[in-house]
Structures are given as C-alpha cells and as structure tokens.
Amino acid sequence: MTIDERVEELLQSMTLREKIGQLNQAGTRMNCALPGFEADIDTWVSEMLQGKLAKEELDRRLAMCEENLREDEVASGELGNFVNLYEDEKIARVQKAAVEDSRLKIPLLIGADVIRGYRTIFPTPLALSCSWDMECVRTMAHVAKREAYAGGVNWTFGPMLDIARDARWGRIVESPGEDPYLAGRIGETLVKEFQRKEEDGCRLMASAKHFLAYGAVSGGQDYYTVDLSERQLYETYLPPFQAAIDAGVGAVMSAFHDLNGVPCTMDRWLLTDLLRGKMGFTGFVVSDAEGVRQCVAHGCAKDEKDAARLALLAGGDMDMSSLDYAGYLEELVSEGELDETVVDEAVRRVLKKKFEFGLFDRDYTYDPAKIAEVTLTEENRKCAREVGKRSVVLLKNDGILPIRREVTRILVTGAIAEDRQALLGPWAFTGSAEPVVTVVEGLRSYASEGVDVRYVRGFDVNDDRSDFAEAYEAAKQADLVIAVGGEREYMSGEAASRANLHLAGAQEEFLSGLVKTGTPVAVVLINGRPLAVGCLKENPGIQAILEAWHPGTECGNVIAEILYGRYNPSGKLSVTFANEAGQEPMYYNHPNTGKPGSDFKFTSKYQDIPIAPLYPFGYGLSYTTFSYEDFRIEQETLTVEETLRCSVEVENTGAYAGEEIVQLYLRDVTASCARPVKELKRFEKISLAAGERAMVRFELPVSEMGFYNRSCDYVVEPGEFRLFVGTDSERVLEKTVQVVLK
C-alpha cells in the first residue's frame, strides 16, 4: 500500500474526535499545588527567563510539582502530538499510551526546539551562520539528530529561518543572519541533514519557522507588528523558506505577529495561497505556541472558538498549545460552521508525515543504555568544539593574539567567564549547563607549562562595582587580561528585545578603568546579538576583541584554542554591527537611495554617528592575512541563458595557516526597481598554508541575477551589472559585465 492509501484507510476509520486529536499538540500538565508557594509555572518560567529566578531553583520547584503526562487523553485519541517534552522516559510513556492503549494506535509526533543541539549544545544559530561552513551546519544537525532521536524526539522546531536585520530583536540570536542567500544555504543544509534517514531509521522531521517575516517586527520589538510590501517579502524573507521547501521540509510553523494587518496564524493568503500555491509546500502547518488563541488578542477573532475556525480555514493544520482545536472544532463541525472535509484535509497532511517519517515503524521501548551510548559523548563534544571554533569572529587584533609564549601571567575577569548558564546561552532548553566548560577551565586546561591563569570576578552585566578594585589590582600583576563580558543567557532570545545595544550595566566603565592599569586587554564577548561596541573598537588599550557568541557546551575549550593560537579564527559576520541602536535596522544589502550617504550634508545618514557600520557584513579577521588579486571574468557580455564564470587569486600572505571565506557580490546598476548596493551571490571557504596561493572560481547563472519587480514577477533585466569579490562586503575587487537580451 502507498502512504496515501494507508492515510486514506486510517482516516476512514477515525471518529471526528480522533481526527481532531491529530491536529492537537500540547505539553504535559503540571499540578503545582505546592505548600509555601504561589504556584504558577508560567510566572516562574517568565522569572527564570528574565534572570530573576535561578534555573536550579526553577528545576527544584518543578521537581516538586506533579506532572500529568496526559496519557488518558492520548489513549482516548484526543491528543496526537506533544510539544517540548524532552525527558526520554516520559516520551516513552506517552508513546506507549498511543501505540498500545489508543484504539487506532497512531504514534505521537514529539516536537522540541532542537535548535543548536539536543544534549550536546552547539553555538547559537547566529554564531553557526558566521562559520559560513555547510559542513559545520551539517555536523550540528547530525549530532543533534542522533541525540534527539535516541531520546524519542521525532520532530524539531527548526530551522529558524527569519532574516534578521535588527539587533534590537532578541531572536536575532536564533536566526541565520541578515542575508537571504546565506540563510537559504543554511536552511537547505539543516533540513536535509535533520530529515536524512540513517541506516537505523534515525531522522527528525524539520519545520521551517516562523512564517513569515518575524524578523521584521517594528522597532525590533518582539511579537510586534510587521507591515511590508509583497516585493520585500519575495526579495528578502521568502528565499530561505523556499530553500527549505525545495529541500523537502516536513512542516512550516506560522509566526506570532500580524503581517500587513492579518495575524500569520489565520492568514489564508499566507498559509495557503502563497505557501502552498506559489511556493509548492506539501507538508503541514503548525501554529506557534498558543498562536491560535492569540488571534483574539490581535483583535481578529472574537473568541477562541472563532480563532480555531479561522486558523484551520487559513491552512493552519495543527494547533500548538492553545488547545482550541481540541476545544472547539467538534462543536464547529456539528453546528455547520466548519465542513468536516477541512478537518480531514489537515489530518491527511499530519498522518502523511507520521508515515513518511517512520513513526509507525519504530520501537518505542525505553532503553536508557542505548540513549546514553549516543548522548553527550566525547565524539559529540569534539564536534561541538570544532564547529564552535569556526563560529567565532575575531573583530579586532592589535597583535596580542594569539597569546605569545612570553605571556605567563593571565588574568581572566568577568562573572560570565565562570558562569555555565550564561556561557551556554539561550535556546538550549534540551541541554544543561552542568557539562559546559567555562572560559577559565578551558584556558587552564590548554595553558602551556608555567602559565598561570588567575580568575577575579571583577564585573558582571549589572551595575555592581564592588569587585572592580580587586580586578584592577590583579591586572597590574598580569601580562595580559582577558575580560569576558557581553550578555547573560536571558538577554537575547524570545521576548528579549533591547532598545540599547551597549554593553549592559557598568561593563564599559569597568573596561575603561581596566585599560588604565596599562596591562594589555583582550575582550571576549559572550552575547546573542551584535552589540554597539564602538567604545571597545576605539579604545587603544583594548587590543583585541573576540566575538565568541555563546559557543555551547565546549565554550571554554573553543575560546582557549583560539586565544592560544591552536586554531586560527575564520568566522565572518553574518550580520552587520551598527554603531548605535538608533541606526537599526542596519544591513549591507540596502538600496543606494537618491542621496547616498557622504560627507555632504544633504545625504542619507545620521548626523551623530558614522555612516559606515561598526563592522560590516562578511567581516572577520584571522591571525594571518589574505591578498586578493587578478579578479577575472571569463565573458563580459552574457545573455540570460548563459552562466557567468569568474575567478580570483587568493594568497595567504601572513605567517599562519588559515581559512578564508571568499565572497562574491553582485549589483544590478540600473533596473526598474532600486537594487541593493550589493547582494551576496556565492561564497567559498578555502584553507591555505602560510604563503600558499589558490585560484577560487565561481559560476553564477545569469538567471540568478534577477529580482522581483513592481508586480512581484521575477525578472532579469538586461544592462550593466557589477561584480565584487573580496574578504568582506566592503573590501572587494570589482568588475563590470553586460547582460543582453540575445
């Protein structure tokens, strides 16, 4: 029997209630009647995520609560899927209720945010995108898949493919950066690896989220409104989703916000006409958590029942966490407000994925030994370390890095340097802080003999100045200070927008005092988003800045290998660093405007900050240097059917072996719509020994040199195009080509 036939057969045997159960996704239920507490899990979690309640305390309280796994709802067929259940033994229990106790024995989809690993945590997605390395992306997905699958998770709520141009938005940390092409490559790689079936059946269904343009929330304020032209959607926000769909992504998650006036959760144009009609998506759509009932707060549904009807009619197949499909769809059908065929269609889509992803073929016996075999293994940690090293970006280096042999007294300062939870960072709920290697541990374990690594807390991300003096005293005794600052884990991620992008608290003050000790300072930034660190860039006493992001479980080892020069940094920014928050959204692929920014008064700029970004897209230093020469275009006049071929000579002109990410950009000089000053079209990561030279070639079909015109039709308009090749989006060599009709 084909999958479609099996789906049809099953559907025919289902009651309406059982059908609705397949469209229902819920978490477990907590009974929190705890003595001595105003027990309210939502409030506790909210406090924990704002840094007001320690994670350990939350865990302690949760451990005292009674958890209802809803096995009765599963057995009755009313609940067909779980969200964020990632305790292996519990997963096995609910699956048992489904495949043994329910009438139709349909297994559950167990969805979790496997965003940057499962138990072994990798760098944040934004950091990972700075590797520009699809092998790293694939490795993360592979390790995450093996660990999650072993534990019983069969669906990841990823990849997150929201183009993020505004660092105020906390979820920029989860994004693949600001560039549609790079994000598309990452999305495609993640979907393919998560979903690739291994010999033992291991695979996860992926879901591309959040559909659509969540990264464009006004002012970078989370959950806020988005108003964008359709053209902009096509140009900037759709390409990574299209790449995920073309790679066969099983599900798409709709976004929380309202897009051009309609909440994405209930937008039929978005979820059906565009997603299925134009983009060719054939999987199922899941709402974001409680997205269905939020349509009431949006003011677009009169109550939860109305929201359930509107969301399902729009093409939202599964309700995550609202329980409104479970609560109202049956009533809506019996009242004639909703045709059962609409329910059937959604159920078909969900069941089809359950068959395709092998849910019916799996053994759900709980086997802790088998899980332990693949979880947090030395091999997995090694992968996280290798990927971590490639995700770090060296922003500034006046020659103090890598740390020289003569440096024997190293002072590490900054509360974050020893704080596992802060180092682990956001969106790592399935993992834990306990196995995280701190910066101090990493530096000590990689230190050569005779090197003393001392730690003094010094400063945190708040206004506490009580440890400043001790750190300054210690700095005077050191040859080098490594100051670790930035953001704690709760300062980026969901609902963590910031209006101010400076280092929080008294960090800047601490650092300016620190350089006055005269000891060279290297700053290691641990943070989710690009920060306005102009004061560090400009301060000559701060001789190096390493943007480490949150590297994950192997954090300290990653940082140590780079600082000691065992690994030569190769990461390049996948997002622009603005000088100030007031410059956001700031991104490299903007149109030129009629008055491009310059020293002349009447041009597009802010009068109180530089026109140029603090650090441009594609930027990142190495311990070596690369020169670019001899940029050649094979054929300078091309028709739309032809392929542009070009090459450039890259030489490692420094003293260290290193990796370089060679970037190719395009500009359509004259077109019917204003085109970006540059658009990334290709990139290649190469590895060169000191003194080695290589020729890097690119091929770009002219058909990929087009854009969406005023009517949203994709066109390649003939005329002049400029090509740029270089080490980042600003330092480039340039050539011109002509595209002709015939």
- The answer to whether 133 contacts ligand BGC (rule: CB under 6 A) is no
Least spacing, CB of residue 111 vs ligand BGC, in Å: 7
| Nearer residue to ligand BGC within complex by CB, 234 or 256 | 256
| Nearer residue to ligand BGC within complex by CB, 250 or 414 | 250
Least spacing, CB of residue 171 vs ligand BGC, in Å: 8
- The answer to whether 209 contacts ligand BGC (rule: CB under 6 A) is yes
Please state, as a whole number, how many other Cβ atoms lie within 10 Å of the Cβ of residue 232. Answer: 14
Residue 415: phi, psi to the nearest 5?
Answer: -60, -35
Size of the site for ligand BGC (CB under 6 A): 8
Q: The dihedral of CA 610, 615, 616, 622: what is its sign?
A: positive
Euclidean distance between CA atoms 521 and 482, whole angstroms? 6
| Nearer residue to ligand BGC within complex by CB, 113 or 659 | 113
Least spacing, CB of residue 68 vs ligand BGC, in Å: 19
Least spacing, CB of residue 69 vs ligand BGC, in Å: 18
Six-digit token pair at 224? 């806020």
| Nearer residue to ligand BGC within complex by CB, 77 or 291 | 291
Instruction: Give per-residue burial for 511-525: e unless 16+ CB within 10 Å, then b.
Output: bebbbebebbbbbbb
Euclidean distance between CA atoms 186 and 207, whole angstroms? 14
Q: At what angle do helices 134-151 and 378-391 cross, to 10 degrees?
A: 150
Helix (H, G, I), strand (E, B) or coil at 295: helix
Six-digit token pair at 472? 């300054």
- Which amino acid makes up residue 463? D
Which of the residues 179, 288, 668, 728 is marked catalytic?
288
Least spacing, CB of residue 436 vs ligand BGC, in Å: 21
C-alpha distances in angstroms, 510 versus 418, 516, 702? Answer: 18, 10, 53
| Nearer residue to ligand BGC within complex by CB, 113 or 330 | 113
Binding map of ligand BGC across residues 75-114, x = CB under 6 A, - = no contact:
--------xx----------------------------x-
Six-digit token pair at 311? 């969301």
| Nearer residue to ligand BGC within complex by CB, 241 or 564 | 241
Q: Are 88 and 152 in contact (CB under 8 A)?
A: yes
Q: Which of 118, 149, 155, 157 binds ligand BGC (CB under 6 A)?
A: 157
Residue 644: phi, psi to the nearest 5?
Answer: -80, 135
Helix (H) or strand (E) holding 24: strand 24-26
| Nearer residue to ligand BGC within complex by CB, 171 or 550 | 171
- The answer to whether 494 contacts ligand BGC (rule: CB under 6 A) is yes
* β-bridge pairing 24-26 and 81-83: parallel
Least spacing, CB of residue 210 vs ligand BGC, in Å: 6
Least spacing, CB of residue 597 vs ligand BGC, in Å: 35
| Nearer residue to ligand BGC within complex by CB, 25 or 579 | 25
C-alpha distances in angstroms, 647 versus 452, 637, 642, 677? Answer: 48, 16, 17, 21
Binding map of ligand BGC across residues 605-634, x = CB under 6 A, - = no contact:
------------------------------
- The answer to whether 164 contacts ligand BGC (rule: CB under 6 A) is no
Q: Which of residues 243-302 bind ligand BGC (CB under 6 A)?
A: 288-289
- The answer to whether 162 contacts ligand BGC (rule: CB under 6 A) is no
Euclidean distance between CA atoms 364 and 151, whole angstroms? 10
Least spacing, CB of residue 405 vs ligand BGC, in Å: 47
* Residue 288 annotated in active site: yes
Nearest residue to ligand BGC, scored by beta-carbon proximity:
157
CA angle 659/663/668 to nearest 5° reads 180
Six-digit token pair at 635? 């054929």
**Hey, which residues are catalytic here?**
288
Q: Residue numbers of the site for ligand BGC (CB under 6 A)?
A: 83-84, 113, 157, 209, 288-289, 494
